[in-house]
Structure 1
Amino acid sequence: MRRYGSAVLLLLVGGAVLRISLFSELYLRYVQAALRPYLVISGSLLILLGLVAAVRGMRQRDHEEHDDHEEHGEHGEEEEGEEAEHDHGHSHSHSHGGPRIAWLLTLPALALLLFPPPALGSYSASREEAQRAAQGVGTFSALPAGKVLDISVAQYSSRAIYDTGHSLKGRTLRMTGFVTHGSNGTWYLTRLLVTCCAADATISKVEIRGDEADGAPQTDSWVTVTGTWIPKGKLGTDGAWPPVLKAARVKQVKEPADPYDKR
């Protein structure tokens, strides 16, 4: 079976990649949507390589069995010669394949296939330092009209910290994210922003205040919060971080298929 180790590993990894990218949207937990075609192509190539490796292993096995049959079918040889040939064949049969411990490499691939890890959440957010958008203080473009404006956590954070035009003032805003907790009962609406993949994720979060914020939801639960902007600190300074929203409504929702934020 050791000769099939590389084939099994390739098939498991390829199957896992296709499972999260071709047959579901789980890949959005790890990379941007634009990378989906590359994942599908990569998974397909791994499957193809695994099948090629399996076929080569089968042909090699048949060839070795044929050689063993010819060796055992010879007559008239001395007993010592037969033993020498047997030892040679025995050592030859064990010279293929790697050490048995190499089979442990299949465990991560099997785990990814059966139990894909969740998207980044509160643990990742708690390890992230307060990171600001790479922009200076200035006037932002006007927000679209509407009674209730849907806005991302990242957009709200940028405008609350940097916008000298105070475009958030007087607007009713609605945002969705997961819950993280601070000290003294403080909780935040949090979202992670990815540029390429989960490895480069950065955090945006908004402190939720008001009567509707009492009784903070459970950590990592997803909520949609509707409310209004509360100015805080001097624009462009650490005192403005994190921005604050006065909640008029907090509604628990399901985790979206794409859990990461947009600028």
Structure 2
Amino acid sequence: MRRYGPAVLLLLTGAAILRISLLSELYLRYVQAGLRPYLVVSGFLLVLLGVAAAVAGRREQEPHGAHGGHHAPRIAWLLALPALALLLFPPPALGSYSAGREAAQRAAQGVGAFPALPAGGPVALTLAEFSSRAIYDSGRSLTGRTVRLTGFVTRDDDGTWYVTRLLVSCCAADATTNKVEIRGADAPPADAWVTVTGTWHPKGSLGTDGAWPPVLDAASVRRVAQPANPYERR
């Protein structure tokens, strides 16, 4: 059985990668959509290598009288556990726990005028777009406009709650937090996904810590399903 250990590890890892990238959209919990082709190719290559290793192991003649090296193969089997867990129980997207550990990080841009928002409403904005305009827009383009934001719920101990979204450049490992404080509505459970419609509530001076996090006065809060891609892109 030890001869097939490397083959099984390769097959499990390849199958796990293909499961999240080819057979579902679970890969979006970990990396950007543009990396999908690389994941699929990697998964197929690992499966092919696993098959080749299994064939080679079958052809090998196990040495007679060999008693050493029993422990190393047994320990190596522990490497199969992460691949098996990913295959059977893929972890959820990062949520309120990860967001709560992030320091406030804002776009590295100065105060200035932003382009006008589209006519009509409510205007659907990402949290990054809303936050940038709320904190840095000298033209106050959010004033009097009804906007719609979607994200998951995070809460402070004092009852303050936020619509939150994690932003990634490449993968979940570099995720940072963007959040908007919601006022005028009861807080849904933590990690619930919601769409909030409302109007900007100005606070603080432009470009200062006092303006962060931005605030939205809610007119409606609606529970929604988690989107296939739970992250916003920088």
Per the normalisation by structure 2, the TM-score is 0.96
Greater share of helix residues, 1 or 2?
1
| Equivalent residue, structure 2, for 1:190 | 164
Cα offset for 1:119?
0.4
1:90 match: 65
Question: Which one-letter code corresponds to 2:44 in the other structure?
Answer: S
- Once residues 141 and 52 of structure 1 are traced to their aligned partners in structure 2, the CA distance between those partners, rounded to angstroms, is 57
- Alignment-derived partner of residue 77 in structure 1: none
SS at match of 1:89: coil
Q: Secondary structure at the match of 2:65?
A: helix
Matched ranges for 1:221-236 at <5 A = 221-236=192-207
* Residue number in structure 2 paired with 1:130: 104
Deviations 1:107-154 (A, max 9, x none): 111001000010000000000000010111111111111221111111
Q: What residue number does 1:42 align with?
A: 42
Q: CA deviation at 1:94?
A: 5.8
**1:245 is matched with which residue?**
216
Q: Is the Cα contact below 8 Å between 1:3 and 1:96 reproduced in 2? A: no
Match for residue 12 of structure 2?
12
Q: Give the equivalent residue in structure 2 for 1:26.
A: 26
User: Residue type matched to 2:40 in 1?
Assistant: V
What is aligned with 1:79?
none
- 1:177 aligned partner: 151
> Number of residues paired by the alignment?
234
CA contact (8 A) 2:99 2:177 kept: yes
Distance in 2, Cα, partners of 1:15 & 1:184: 45
Q: Which structure has the larger Rg?
A: 1
Cα distance, 1:114–1:11 mapped onto 2, change above 3 Å: same
Instruction: Return closer, same or farther for 1:97/1:50 CA change in 2, 3 Å cut-off.
Output: farther
Query: Does the C-alpha gap of structure 1 residues 246 and 2 become closer, same or farther in structure 2, counting only changes over 3 Å?
Result: same
Please say if 1:206 is aligned against 2:180: yes
Q: Deviations over 1:20-79 (max 9, x none)?
A: 00000000000000000000000000001100100000000xx44xxxxxxxxxxxxxxx
Please say if residues 140 and 165 of structure 1, whose CA atoms lie closer than 8 Å, have aligned partners that are also in contact: yes
Separation in structure 2 between the aligned mates of residue 121 and residue 95 of structure 1, nearest angstrom: 43
Separation of aligned partners in 2, 1:18 and 1:96: 31
Matched, 1:117 2:91: yes
Q: Which amino acid aligns with 1:7?
A: A
Shift in Å at residue 97 of structure 1? 9.5
Residues 5 and 73 in structure 2, CA contact (< 8 A), matched pair in contact too: no
Question: What is the CA distance between 1:197 and its match in structure 2?
Answer: 0.3
4+ runs deviating over 6 angstroms? none
> How does 1:90-109 map onto structure 2 within 5 Å?
90-91=65-66, 98-109=72-83
- In structure 1, how many angstroms separate the alpha carbons of the residues matched to 2:82 and 2:70? 24
CA RMSD of aligned residues (A): 1.5
Q: Distance in 2 between matches of 1:98 and 1:5?
A: 11
Distance in 2, Cα, partners of 1:106 & 1:95: 19
CA distance in 2 between counterparts of 1:99 and 1:23 reads: 31
Q: Note the C-alpha offset of 1:222.
A: 0.4
TM-score by length of 1: 0.86
Which structure 2 segments of 5+ residues have no match? none
Q: Distance in 2 between matches of 1:229 and 1:200?
A: 29
Matched residue SS, 1:168: coil
Q: Provide the residue aligned with 1:258 in structure 2.
A: 229
